[in-house]
Amino acid sequence: MTTPLKISEVLFSLQDFMTKDGAISPEHREFYMLFRDKMNAFEDIFSIDNIELLLAQTYAEVENISQEVFIQIDEAILTQYRNDNSDAINERIQRLAAEEAAKHAEAARLVEEERLAEEARIAEAARLVEEERLAEEARIAEAARLVEEARLAEEARLAEEARLAEEARIAEEARITEEARITEEASAEEAARLAEEARLAEEARLAEEARLAEEASVAETARLAEESRLAEEARIVEEANAEEAARLAEIARLAEEARLAEEARLAEEARQLSEMDAAAREKQAYWDAQGALPLDASTQDPLTPQEVENGSPFSLKIGIIIAITAVLGGLGVYFIL
């Protein structure tokens, strides 16, 4: 029976082969780690056949190790443990490696088919997921587009409202400015109007004062003139009264004189009448004595020369009446004045 191999010796032999050129390539590193894991997991004794089997399994799983390199690895590990029939062993190793490679290839094919089927399933699922994702993305994009459109519409609405608000603000400011300007102009016009009214009122007041002063002056002049006129009239009236009094006194004197003269005349007439009456009685007595009386005045004798000289009683009465009328007329004219 062959003595079992030690795992450390086998791994050291493999390390010596892989590090003979210095650095370990990635393929050698992958082969070493996979072969070490298989040896650690192997539960049987490490005979040459089992080591060759584990090497063949590892070779089948590592893709970038060529058959030539695999034979060199096998020889580097197992040469010290083989006898003189190394060619048969190598042939068996090659056959085992080929069988193991064929098994590995079949397994790899099945795995590949399963992988391709899984990839197809995964691709279909991915396609469905992708379609669902694309549909969801389309839905999300549509929703985002609608949201964006709504956002843009809202922004446009807000911008339009802001523009309208700004235009309204500018219009309001313009209106307020215009109203302020109009108010200012109205205030200026009102101030000018009030100033003009005040000026006109002042001019009217001064004109009124001047008119009143003129009227007062005229009134004073008129009053003075009226007082002068009244004084003059009073003086004239006084003078007229004095003259009238003198005239009336004169008239009274003349009337008295006329009265006295009239009384004297009347007395004279009465005396003459008395004398005439006496003469008439004498004449009547004469005629009575003669026996013949005159029937009327036409049959009477003419007046005597003395009667003609003294005037008849009728002519004396007319003269008295004329004198009294003249005196009364003068008094009436005085009272009228």
Task: Give yes or no for residue 333 having a pLDDT over 80.
Answer: no
User: What domain range includes position 75?
Assistant: 7-82
Residue 164 placed within a domain: no
| Average pLDDT over every residue of 90-100 | 60
Are 104 and 56 spatial neighbours (Cβ–Cβ below 8 Å)? no
Look at residue 49 in the predicted model and tell me its pLDDT.
87
Reading the block at residue 284, the tokens are 């009547």
Q: Has residue 51 been placed in a domain?
A: yes
Flag whether 173 is in a domain.
no
Q: What is the pLDDT of residue 84?
A: 40
Q: Quick check: is 148 in a domain?
A: no
Per the structure, the count of domains in the chain is 2
Task: Examine the fold and report which residue of 82, 107, 138 is the final residue of a domain before the chain moves on.
Answer: 82
Q: Is residue 278 part of a domain?
A: yes
Q: Is 241 a member of any domain?
A: no
pTM of the entire structure? 0.29
| Residue-level pLDDT at 308 | 46
pLDDT recorded at residue 115: 83
Boundary-marking domain end, from 82, 117, 140 = 82
Residue 175, pLDDT score: 93
Q: pLDDT-based confidence at 90, cuts 50/70/90? A: low
Average pLDDT of the residues in 24-28: 89
Question: Looking at 59, 82, 105, which one is the last position of a domain?
Answer: 82
The answer to whether residue 297 sits within a structural domain is no
**Residue 95 forms part of a structural domain:** no
